[in-house]
Copies of this chain bind each other. A is one copy, B any other.
Amino acid sequence: MAKIQKKNIEKKIYEYHAEMCKVFSHPTRLEIINTLRESEMNVTELSTRIGIDMGNLSQHLGMMRDRRILTTRKDGNVVYYRLANPKMLDAFDILRKILIEQIKKDGNLVEALEE
């Protein structure tokens, strides 16, 4: 394959990778992932658990489903969401652990992010 073509494919992969990671870049969506850790849940219950109105929640769920982070199952008029791939929890946990260590070690982190 030509060099220039290979380079473009790499760039494309970085774009899709970034697109996927956008899922993790919002606190509500992280809470959704963590809430679905062990089992599926329907939209109404997610809404009360997380404390967010259903319209907004549904938007978040929709974009997470577009990116294949969540999948759904429908029973009557209830929609159940669950994690598409439990391995993503490993990535979630690694980053959260790094974060917690940093907060313990480096009090300035909080300030750096709040300026």
Interface of A with B (CB < 8 Å)?
A: 11, 13-22, 24-31, 34, 66-68, 85, 87-88, 90-91, 94-100, 102-103, 106, 109-110, 112-113
Number of copies: 2
Q: Complex formed: what's the CA distance from A13 to B109 in Å?
A: 12
Q: Can you add 18 more A-B contacts, CB < 8 Å, to A11-B31, A21-B95, A22-B25? A: A13-B96, A14-B28, A14-B30, A16-B110, A17-B24, A17-B27, A17-B96, A18-B24, A18-B25, A21-B24, A21-B30, A67-B113, A68-B106, A87-B98, A90-B90, A90-B91, A91-B94, A91-B95
Q: State how many angstroms separate the Cβ of A60 from the closest Cβ of chain B.
A: 12
The interface residues of chain A, by DSSP majority, are classed as helix
Q: Complex formed: what's the CA distance from A90 to B19 in Å?
A: 18
- What 9 A-B pairs have minimum CB-CB distances, sorted nearest first? A14-B27, A21-B24, A91-B91, A91-B94, A25-B25, A18-B27, A22-B25, A21-B25, A15-B27
Q: Complex formed: what's the CA distance from A106 to B69 in Å?
A: 13
